[in-house]
């Protein structure tokens, strides 16, 4: 039996995600899977801002090196951790069905919602996107920066005296923490991150051994991921840039894309929206980025990067 070596981060969430994909490969494709857990730079640097030391790529670099060096055959990533560019020699072979893409409010008081949080409530998040959109929606809130895995962030509600933390619904669902979610926030309030809720399976480009894994691809998830990632690439975005994009394909085959770029304080939000056939989603993502750049986004990006010391 063909055996695939699957590179994964060693965090609880990454292992849960990778085990789910491994189980599908074994049951649906008849291949044996060996997990290759790796600690990434992003996992090791828990006490610094990722934007200052390399951004999103720190969660995928070691996995991609394992692929390029032949120590693994495929890698499973959270698509929201992926940089805009894919290294030469690698390609995404499948985006399986997407989990809940929304952000989740995990509060101290059971049943609390974003609207019901007290004036000046302390809310923890490690995301510049969530920070900026929270400030746009509830400028009275005190935003507390967070790092760490999902259980660590939830524990900080007590240890740091927080009123709530914001996390991804998908991660909480996959780890069995769905009961801690008091509100699944509408994209109208917090537009999701590019790729949030989606897994990406990466392999060496053209490797015949991994071609069969493409059967795990979901057409809707693939169209959405490519549209959102085209927007990310168009803005040359990374984790220091507060941008968001969410695409979904309806039963009629039309893709609805919503995308935005915002200032860190949430006072300037540049938005684009499009409805196109799913096959045109990637072009729509690129067009949304170009429109935002022309509508003041280029100047806003320059300000954001200057503030970040770049």
Residues classed as catalytic: 81
Q: How far are the Cα atoms of 2, 21, 30, 47, 60 from residue 8, in angstroms, in the given order?
A: 19, 11, 20, 22, 9
CA dihedral sign, ordered 277, 281, 287, 292: positive
Helix (H, G, I), strand (E, B) or coil at 113: coil
Cα 58 to the chain's mean position, in Å?
Answer: 14
Phi, psi of 16, rounded to the nearest 5 degrees = -60, -45
Q: How far is it between the farthest Cα atoms of the chain?
A: 60
Give the Cα separation of 250 and 203 in Å (integer): 29
Helix (H, G, I), strand (E, B) or coil at 172: helix
- For the chain, the helix, strand and coil percentages under 3-state DSSP, each to the nearest 5: 40, 25, 35
Q: Which residue bears the tokens 């974003």?
A: 114
Cα 67 to the chain's mean position, in Å?
Answer: 21
In 161-291, where do the E strands start and end? 164-168, 183-185, 199-204, 243-249, 254-262, 269-277
Find the Cα–Cα–Cα–Cα dihedral 15, 176, 29, 78, rounded to 10°.
-50
């Amino acid at each position: 039996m063909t055996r695939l070596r699957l590179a994964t981060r060693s965090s609880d969430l990454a292992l849960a995600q990778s085990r789910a994909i491994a189980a599908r490969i074994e049951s649906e494709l008849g291949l044996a899977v060996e997990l290759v857990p790796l600690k990434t730079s992003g996992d090791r640097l828990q006490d610094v801002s990722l934007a200052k030391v390399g951004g999103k790529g720190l969660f995928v670099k070691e996995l991609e090196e394992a692929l390029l060096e032949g120590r693994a055959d495929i890698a499973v990533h959270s698509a929201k951790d992926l940089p805009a560019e894919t290294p030469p020699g690698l390609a995404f072979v499948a985006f399986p069905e997407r989990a809940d893409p929304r952000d989740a409010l995990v509060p101290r008081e059971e049943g609390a919602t974003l609207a019901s949080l007290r004036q000046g409530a302390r809310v923890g998040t490690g995301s510049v996107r969530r920070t900026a959109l929270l400030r746009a929606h509830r400028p009275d809130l005190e935003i507390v920066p967070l790092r760490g895995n999902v259980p660590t962030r939830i524990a900080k509600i007590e240890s740091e005296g927080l009123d709530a933390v914001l996390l991804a619904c998908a991660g909480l669902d996959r780890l069995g923490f769905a009961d801690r979610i008091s509100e699944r926030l509408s994209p109208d309030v917090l537009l999701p991150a590019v790729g949030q809720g989606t897994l990406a399976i990466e392999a060496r480009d053209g490797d015949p051994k991994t071609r069969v894994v493409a059967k795990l691809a979901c057409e809707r998830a693939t169209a959405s991921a490519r549209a959102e990632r085209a927007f990310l690439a168009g803005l040359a975005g990374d984790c220091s840039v507060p941008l968001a994009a969410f695409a979904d394909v309806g039963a009629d085959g039309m893709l609805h894309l919503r995308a935005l770029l915002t200032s860190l304080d949430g006072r300037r939000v540049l938005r684009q929206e499009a409805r196109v056939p799913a096959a045109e989603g990637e072009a729509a993502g690129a067009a949304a980025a170009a429109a935002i750049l022309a509508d003041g986004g280029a100047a806003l990006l320059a300000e954001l990067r200057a503030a970040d010391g770049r």
